[in-house]
Amino acid sequence: MSHQAIYRKFRPMDFESVLGQKHITETIKRQIMKDSVAHAYLFNGIRGTGKTSTAKIFSRAVNCLDPQDGNPCNKCEICVSTLKETNMDVVEMDAASNNSVEDIRDLREKVKFLPSKSKYKVYIIDEVHMLSKGAFNALLKTLEEPPEHLLFILATTEPEKIPATILSRCQRFDFKRLSVNNMIKNMEYICSEIGVEAEEKALRLIANSAEGAMRDALSILDRCLNLEDEKITYESVLDLLGTVNYSVIIDFTENIISKDISNMMFHLDDILGEGKEITQFLDDLIKHFRNMLILKTSSEGYKYISVGEDISEDIKNQGLKIDEDTIIKYIEELSETLALCKKALNERVLLETRLIKMIREKPAQVYQQQDQQQETQTVVKPEKKTSEKVNEEKKPSEKSETPDKKPEMKTTNSSGDFQLVVESWDAILNEIKKLRVSFHAVIKEAEPYELKGDTLKFVFQPNYKFHYDQATKKENLDFFTAFVNKKLNTDYNVEFSFNDGKKKVENEEDSIDIIKEAEEFFGQKVEKIND
């Protein structure tokens, strides 16, 4: 007899057996008991969270001859034939390989016929987002006026790729990532059923590695059973996964935060001595600091990281010992080190050297404190100059003979101030980097936009949403406003915004000038069209 994968052998048979999705299963059960089933459902969620299993249970429950509180009995003729996949009224279709217009047109012809022996003709379409545009249009025609005997259950991991016209005709249910504890309990039950002993921390490691997907966890467990007949150990799981133990990453990070070079080198030697790839280790370390930054800056950061909640809590606690600026600095330094290691002749020496240099450098906040101390000791106002004088001293096309020297920002009229900001933007960024390296990583993606009245505007392009959010934080906005005004000896307001890359005409005079230029260029009158 061929081997049957654990996730198939222990697939849930009723709604109560579906892990972690009670908010969905209870709703569907009530609809079945009240005979108020909709004609189309969309099951959305990451892989391995129970979408297909729930769809299969649903397909049996709506047709069951002896339903039990909304659950299928799994004993009647309909349930048994559906379980054996011989019920012609229940059709499973993979949209990844059946995504053409012809496939859906063929389906449309078949759904017209009444079920052979069931109440509903059920179509389960997995990975529905893979359908072509034409196939979606063909499916829409069926969803608009579905026969009473027809039930569609669509499953996807990428609902954003599904047309709104399809989404609006479905009842949508979002499947959650499973908790680590739920996955551990399920694996403990399975191990007891098959007579295999497993260490709790081994199952916890599997659960954390599965990132909330029960099917992934059971696939790892299946692989472990092929290696260990008697007992699944923590070490065997670690070797199987081929990754650095996350506790090792956390311990190593603790050495970095505490600037303990001696223990850091000791741990690094252990990690590399086990044969771990330097680039893989660096990638894991960068991801760890990234997760720490997300959890530290967002109240719902757990949604954006791919680790179990046990590890999330450890990362969050570790993040309390380090400030955001330093985390960003470490991510930048480690990312640069990773790129260099991929080309280095002796990557270990390079890694050790850069790690030591990284933790011996002063954190960004120290530079900032030193700069603030210097400001309180000496405050020198720059000399006032006219715009003509500024233009004589510095023209856009001219290059400084000494590029390392930062041009001073002098106060002029508004147009002169803005021109100075534009011309000196690189120098400004270099100075900010020395004062606050984390803010430099944010502000370097901005561009001077305009000076209108008392407001100096800078723009971020739409793909820099994270940078915009960081720049508009009160602490960062206050810092940058004070910095700019100090350089200009002014009292401007500073604003950040998004821009589509096309500067709009701000007033009627600008509009008239543009029209005149167009008429001169084309040699004919240009009619203005009002919005």
Is residue 526 predicted with pLDDT exceeding 90?
no
Structure tokens at 353: 């050297």
Residues in CB range of 327: below 8 A, 6 or more apart:
289, 292, 293, 296, 319, 438
Q: Give the mean model confidence (pLDDT) for residues 218-225.
A: 90
Is residue 400 predicted with pLDDT exceeding 50?
no
CA 338 – CA 283 distance, rounded (Å)? 7
* Secondary structure in 3-state letters for 133-167: HHHHHHHHHHHHCCCCCEEEEEEECCHHHCCHHHH
Q: What pLDDT is attached to residue 469?
A: 84
Structure tokens at 146: 């579905």
Q: What pLDDT is attached to residue 409?
A: 39
- pLDDT tens-digit profile of 32-68? 999 999 999 999 999 899 999 999 999 999 999 999 9
CA 225 – CA 193 distance, rounded (Å)? 13
CB 10 within 8 A of CB 190: yes
Classify residue 402 by burial, with Cβ atoms within 10 Å: 0-12, 13-18, 19+.
Answer: exposed
What pTM was estimated for this model as a whole? 0.56
**Cα angle 7-13-18, degrees, rounded to a multiple of 5:** 70
Q: What pLDDT is attached to residue 110?
A: 84
Per-residue burial over 99-116, b if 16 or more Cβ lie within 10 Å, else e, is bebebbbebeeebeeebe
* Secondary structure in 3-state letters for 227-287: HCCCEECHHHHHHHHCCCCHHHHHHHHHHHHCCCHHHHHHHHHHHHHCCCCHHHHHHHHHH
Is residue 445 predicted with pLDDT exceeding 50?
yes
CA 60 – CA 82 distance, rounded (Å)? 7
Beta bridge mates, 151 = 122
**Cα angle 203-280-333, degrees, rounded to a multiple of 5:** 120
Per-residue burial over 506-526, b if 16 or more Cβ lie within 10 Å, else e, is eeeeeeeeeeeeeeeeeeeee
Beta bridge mates, 446 = 460
Q: Give the mean model confidence (pLDDT) for residues 323-331.
A: 93
Q: Give the mean model confidence (pLDDT) for residues 58-85.
A: 95
Residues in CB range of 391: below 8 A, 6 or more apart:
416, 419
Is residue 446 predicted with pLDDT exceeding 80?
yes
Q: Give the mean model confidence (pLDDT) for residues 77-98.
A: 91
Task: Answer with the residue of higher pLDDT: 108 or 61.
Answer: 61
CATH class of segment(s) 180-241: mainly alpha
Task: Answer with the residue of higher pLDDT: 366 or 112.
Answer: 112
CA 407 – CA 427 distance, rounded (Å)? 7
Confidence of residue 389 (pLDDT cuts 50, 70, 90): very low
Three-state secondary-structure class, residue 459: strand
Is residue 204 predicted with pLDDT exceeding 90?
no
Task: Answer with the residue of higher pLDDT: 16 or 311.
Answer: 16
Three-state secondary-structure class, residue 493: strand
Is residue 478 predicted with pLDDT exceeding 50?
yes
Residues in CB range of 242: below 8 A, 6 or more apart:
none
CATH topology of domain 6-174: Rossmann fold (3.40.50)
Task: Answer with the residue of higher pLDDT: 174 or 242.
Answer: 174
Task: Answer with the residue of higher pLDDT: 515 or 176.
Answer: 176
Classify residue 28 by burial, with Cβ atoms within 10 Å: 0-12, 13-18, 19+.
Answer: buried
In CATH, the number for domain 246-361 is: 1.20.272.10
Confidence of residue 517 (pLDDT cuts 50, 70, 90): low
Is residue 154 predicted with pLDDT exceeding 50?
yes
Per-residue burial over 269-304, b if 16 or more Cβ lie within 10 Å, else e, is eebbeeebebeebbebbbbbbbbbbbbbbeeebbee
Nearest to residue 281, comparing CAs of 356, 348, 203, 361?
348
Q: What pLDDT is attached to residue 304?
A: 73
CA 422 – CA 430 distance, rounded (Å)? 14
Domain locations along the chain: 6-174, 180-241, 246-361, 387-498
Q: Tell me the torsion sign for CA atoms 517, 521, 523, 527.
A: negative
Confidence of residue 387 (pLDDT cuts 50, 70, 90): very low
What does DSSP assign to residue 71? B
CATH code 2.60.40.10 for 387-498: no
Residues in CB range of 8: below 8 A, 6 or more apart:
none
Nearest to residue 284, comparing CAs of 317, 307, 255?
307
Is residue 455 predicted with pLDDT exceeding 80?
yes
Confidence of residue 321 (pLDDT cuts 50, 70, 90): very high
